[in-house]
């Protein structure tokens, strides 16, 4: 698929082999070209405003970088625009040290305003940071976990257990029947918004099985001719959205669980004429709908 969904693409050279070096941090801090993505909780340091908004990449000379001595607060992301790039996590109780035209902000409301490469790098950093914040202790014995592999693993020195970054696979599907698409809405969404059907993949389930089950559970519609479309990292907090297209058997939707407030078949003309408020432009759901609209 071209272009890539937002947050996806070859924006970063990950160089996983560099994570195995015991002196990776010393090398990074000694390299004057190293740049740092700074996060505080789930927020990232941004620079500029409006159309000029971008991710703030700090240099090794910045006092905020130099002041952090704890190696567990640094993680090697890879090489970004040919510069070694680290994630620097500031303590949440630390006062927000920001320069002029800088601010800490959440990614999700800003994603569509950022350059695509910045958005992708920040999505990656956010996902790793949130994983690390929820994997501080060993799930086997309860002891503290320590960073290994340049921050990409958490190890227990008591029992030897290792934890690696986790993602939650979720399917999202545009179900069609002729000139109609099946869309649903959740109660907490803005008025009039409808989107494609989505849900998490369960243990022991294939992606195609998940598509069939989620559509049936949420709308009562049976589907077939399932085919893959594209995928999108979605670090809110840790999903990988796997996009599909499917043919739906025509029937009035019936809500079988509490996931949706409403589900309906909409024609292309209805959607084009503004009968529904579509999902945000940065979402794979929006792209699935636009792909379908462009076919007729």
What digits encode the pLDDT tens for the residues 240-276? Answer: 999 999 999 999 999 988 899 999 999 999 999 999 9
Please write the tens of the pLDDT for every residue from 59-71.
999 988 988 888 9
Please write the tens of the pLDDT for every residue from 206-247.
999 999 999 999 999 999 999 999 999 999 999 999 999 999
Tell me the longest C-alpha to C-alpha distance in the chain.
Answer: 64
At 53, is the pLDDT very low, low, confident or very high (cuts 50, 70, 90)? Answer: confident
CA nearest to 120, candidates 24, 30, 4, 21: 4
CA nearest to 153, candidates 144, 162, 161: 162
Q: Fold for domain 12-134?
A: Nucleoside Triphosphate Pyrophosphohydrolase (3.90.79)
Give the C-alpha distances (Å, rounded to integers) separating 291 from 2, 10, 74, 124, 184: 12, 22, 40, 26, 18
Domain limits, the chain = 12-134, 168-293
pTM of the predicted model as reported, rounded to 2 decimal places: 0.92
Where are the extended beta strands (E) located within the chain? 12-13, 35-40, 43-47, 54-55, 57-59, 74-80, 83-90, 102-105, 145-148, 153-156, 162-163, 168-177, 180-185, 197-200, 223-234, 239-248, 262-267
Q: Does residue 46 have a pLDDT over 90?
A: yes
Mean pLDDT, the chain, integer: 94
Same fold, 12-134 and 168-293: yes
Q: Does residue 1 have a pLDDT over 90?
A: no
Q: 44: which strand partners?
A: 39, 105
Please write the tens of the pLDDT for every residue from 7-33.
999 999 999 999 999 999 999 999 999
For domain 168-293, the question of CATH label 3.40.50.450 is answered with no
């Amino acid at each position: 698929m071209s272009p890539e969904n937002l947050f996806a693409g070859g924006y970063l050279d990950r160089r996983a082999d560099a994570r195995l070096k015991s002196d990776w941090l010393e090398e990074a801090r000694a390299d004057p070209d190293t740049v740092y993505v700074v996060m505080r909780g789930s927020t990232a340091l941004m620079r500029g405003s409006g159309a000029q908004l971008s991710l703030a990449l700090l240099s090794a000379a910045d006092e905020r970088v130099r002041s952090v001595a704890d190696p567990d607060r640094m993680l090697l992301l890879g090489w970004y625009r040919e510069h070694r790039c680290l994630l620097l996590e500031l303590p949440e109780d630390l006062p927000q040290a920001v320069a002029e035209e800088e601010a800490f902000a959440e990614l999700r409301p800003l994603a569509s305003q950022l350059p695509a490469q910045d958005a992708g790098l920040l999505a990656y950093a956010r996902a790793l940071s949130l994983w690390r914040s929820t994997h501080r202790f060993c799930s086997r014995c309860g002891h503290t976990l320590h960073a290994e592999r340049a921050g990409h693993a958490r190890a227990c020195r008591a029992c030897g257990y290792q934890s690696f970054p986790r993602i939650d696979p979720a399917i999202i599907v545009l179900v069609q029947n002729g000139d109609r698409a099946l869309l649903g809405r959740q109660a907490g969404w803005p008025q009039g918004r409808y989107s494609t059907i989505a849900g998490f993949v369960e243990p022991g389930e294939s992606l195609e099985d998940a598509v069939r089950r989620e559509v049936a559970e949420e709308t009562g519609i049976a589907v077939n001719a399932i085919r893959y479309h594209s995928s999108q990292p979605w670090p809110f907090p840790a999903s990988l959205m796997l996009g599909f297209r499917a043919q739906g058997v025509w029937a009035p939707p019936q809500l079988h669980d509490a996931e949706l407030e409403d589900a309906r078949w909409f024609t292309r003309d209805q959607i084009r004429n503004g009968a529904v408020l579509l999902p945000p432009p940065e979402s794979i759901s929006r792209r699935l709908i636009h792909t379908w609209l462009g076919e007729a």
